Amino acid sequence: MANIAQQFMLELTAPRAWMLLLLPLFLLLVRCWFRAKRAREIRQQQDDHLPPSPPALPVLGHLHLVGSLPHFSLRSLARKHGYDLMLLRLGAMPVVVVSSPAAAEAVLRTHDHVFASRPLSLVADVVMYGTSDIGCAPYGDYWRRARKLVTTHLLTVKRVQSLRHAREEEVSTVMAQIGEAAGAGAAVDVGDLLGSFTNDLACRAVMGKSSSRNDDRSKLFRQLVVDTSPLLGGFHVEEFFPFLARFGVLSRVVRAKSERLRRRWDELLDRLIDDHESKYKPTMAAAAASDQKDEDDDFIHILLYVRQEYGLTREHMKAILLDVFFGGIDTAAAVLENTVVELMKKPRVMKKLQAEVRSIVPKGQEIVGEADLNGMAYLRAVIKESLRLRTVTPLLAPHFSMASCSVDGVVVPAGVRVLVNAWAIGRDPRYWGEDAEEFVPERFLDGGSAAGVGFKGNDFQFLPFSAGRRQCPGMNFGMAAVEVMLANLVHRFDWEMQAGKEARDIDMSEEFGLVVHRKEKLLLVPKLLHV
């Protein structure tokens, strides 16, 4: 026995025996090495096809490169690396950034069916009744139905025209306030005035003249929009670092805040819908649904008329109404305020615009009516230039890829947020020339370098309302308000800076959000002209 053991030990210690033992280990290692190599190759192949990325940090990814004004920093990154389509990792969140008209066309037109969804958002889920609105709803049957409802019944050209008297009346109210300030030689807070105007107009469209006359109610709506917008437009840290969601502390705080806001919205909207329901006359249904010009047909009434046809619950109705407040108030007010700033900084343009408006509106007429706007080509060029240079929704609203998609030789994976930097594209000298950063409305006039360029979604260098399936459905509604208000602001009033200040002192700092806002108030002194 001892001999056998000895023999065995001898065999073991002999080189041949070691070879026999090591061989399987060696084969195992070789196999592992080949597997790891293959995995590396596959990853490399996939990476080779992903959009290019700037160098990133561990864990943070590119988060540290995105500052407080993401449209600025994303433009700088794209320019520095020459990437018109780039992939960033914000913490754990992959984001594709689009910075050229060709890439925007690929995302918003050629592959629109892949990129037409929205990322999930905890806040939208709570505030928008389970994303039952149009702006936040993921792409699918519900969104298609709700969008069809809005574009065929609420925001049609005819409906926008039928609100013309409402707009003219609201404009008259604002002009009276400006007139009073002019009489007293006082300054007006231009942003506040314009915000009230677009808010009152939205209230009027949603609930009709009689309900919106209640001043307190209008103010409540305004306050709620102001309180909800930052939460709705902001990023939340758990979206970047999902592992934090396991602890759930932050999401509980955000959810609690969102639920408080939703209760406030509920209270207001339920009361309004109840009021309307008590006056609802089914006989009027056919007329409203066929989009007749009846000014009493406010949006709540119309939703009541079509709710069966579209299978709407009350929550769906409230969510759709919220889109009018979130889509229509801040955007149009910001466009107007930005335009006034640019006009103050460019007295030549202001004078030319005033001359056009004053030459077209008949002498003695105090308010510019919508019929007077027809011949105002320069007014339209000024607004377009403002939409280009000071795009109020600089990154549009985030899109979301529903499948992986090959775009111009690279592959955008499924489940990625896509941000189109419309602001950067609108200021890129490659498409707008050397004066791209200047406010020059003439470029949009006949004979100008951008004479044929429009905002309807066919010119991908100019995307203030976006393009494709998710394009803004409130474009006509918003533009009608902006045009008539701007014409009136410059018709009977000259505008001056407060004593001791100059136009070049106007603070241009901005606060980022879905809609970008000026940080500082714009205080200007109106001077009344007698026309």
Binding residues for heme are 472
211 touches ligand HEM (CB under 6 A): no
Pick the stretch among 20-28, 234-242, 245-253, 389-397 that binds ligand HEM (CB under 6 A): 389-397
134 touches ligand HEM (CB under 6 A): yes
Nearest approach, Cβ of 61 to ligand HEM (angstroms)? 24
Pick the stretch among 41-49, 272-280, 351-359, 472-480 that binds ligand HEM (CB under 6 A): 472-480
State the binding string over 338-377 for ligand HEM (x if CB under 6 A, else -). ----------------------------------------
Nearest approach, Cβ of 476 to ligand HEM (angstroms)? 8
Binds ligand HEM by CB under 6 A, chosen from 87, 382, 396, 522: 396
125, 314 Cβ separation under 8 angstroms: no
Binds ligand HEM by CB under 6 A, chosen from 470, 491, 492, 518: 470
Nearest approach, Cβ of 53 to ligand HEM (angstroms)? 24
Which residue has the closest beta carbon to ligand HEM?
Answer: 474
Nearest approach, Cβ of 460 to ligand HEM (angstroms)? 12
321, 269 Cβ separation under 8 angstroms: yes
Sign of torsion over alpha carbons 424, 519, 178, 500: negative
Beta bridge partners of 412: 405
**If binding means CB under 6 A, how many residues of this protein chain bind ligand HEM?**
26
Four-point Cα dihedral 174, 176, 177, 178, nearest 10: 90
200 touches ligand HEM (CB under 6 A): no
State the binding string over 492-521 for ligand HEM (x if CB under 6 A, else -). ------------------------------
385 touches ligand HEM (CB under 6 A): no
Half-sphere exposure for 316 (CA within 13 Å, toward CB): 16
Q: What is the DSSP letter of 153?
A: I
- The kind and range of the H/E element at 223 are helix 215-233
Nearest approach, Cβ of 363 to ligand HEM (angstroms)? 31
Nearest approach, Cβ of 232 to ligand HEM (angstroms)? 12
As given in the structure block, the two tokens for residue 518 are 């000026």
Smallest Cα–Cα separation from 406: which of 45, 110, 88? Answer: 110
119 touches ligand HEM (CB under 6 A): no
Binds ligand HEM by CB under 6 A, chosen from 91, 426, 457, 473: 473
Query: Of the two residues 361 and 463, which places its CB atom closer to ligand HEM in the complex?
Result: 463
As given in the structure block, the two tokens for residue 114 are 């892949």
**Distance between CA atoms of 485 and 229, rounded to whole angstroms?**
24
Binds ligand HEM by CB under 6 A, chosen from 119, 135, 441, 457: 135
Q: How many of the other CB atoms lie within 10 Å of CB of 26?
A: 11
Annotate 195-212 with DSSP letters as a single string.
Answer: HHHHHHHHHHHHHHHHHH
Query: Of the two residues 148 and 521, which places its CB atom closer to ligand HEM in the complex?
Result: 148
Phi/psi of residue 298, nearest 5 degrees: -75, 170
Q: CB neighbours of 313 closer than 8 A, spacing ≥ 6? A: 132
224 touches ligand HEM (CB under 6 A): no
Annotate 242-253 with DSSP letters as a single string.
Answer: GGGGGT-HHHHH
Query: Of the two residues 336 and 525, which places its CB atom closer to ligand HEM in the complex?
Result: 336
Give the Å distances, CA to CA, from 457 to 108, 238, 361, 463. Answer: 9, 34, 31, 6
Q: Is 118 exposed, middle or buried (0-12, 13-18, 19+ CB in 10 A)?
A: buried
Start-to-end C-alpha separation, the chain: 125
Query: Of the two residues 146 and 349, which places its CB atom closer to ligand HEM in the complex?
Result: 146
**Distance between CA atoms of 530 and 514, rounded to whole angstroms?**
40
Nearest approach, Cβ of 417 to ligand HEM (angstroms)? 12
Nearest approach, Cβ of 173 to ligand HEM (angstroms)? 19
426 touches ligand HEM (CB under 6 A): no
Question: Length of the chain, please?
Answer: 531
**Distance between CA atoms of 413 and 158, rounded to whole angstroms?**
41
As given in the structure block, the two tokens for residue 232 are 């709705």
**Distance between CA atoms of 322 and 225, rounded to whole angstroms?**
9
321 touches ligand HEM (CB under 6 A): no
State the binding string over 326-345 for ligand HEM (x if CB under 6 A, else -). -xx--xx--x----------
Smallest Cα–Cα separation from 342: which of 385, 396, 299? Answer: 385
Pick the stretch among 21-29, 43-51, 438-446, 477-485 that binds ligand HEM (CB under 6 A): 477-485
| Residue ranges of the binding site | 472
Nearest approach, Cβ of 196 to ligand HEM (angstroms)? 15
Binds ligand HEM by CB under 6 A, chosen from 51, 208, 426, 464: 464
Binds ligand HEM by CB under 6 A, chosen from 195, 474, 490, 526: 474
Phi-psi region of 415 (alpha: psi -120 to 50; beta: other; left: phi over 0): left
Binds ligand HEM by CB under 6 A, chosen from 84, 105, 323, 483: 323
Binding site for ligand HEM (CB under 6 A): 134-135, 147, 155, 323-324, 327-328, 331-332, 335, 392-393, 396-397, 464-466, 470-474, 477-478, 482
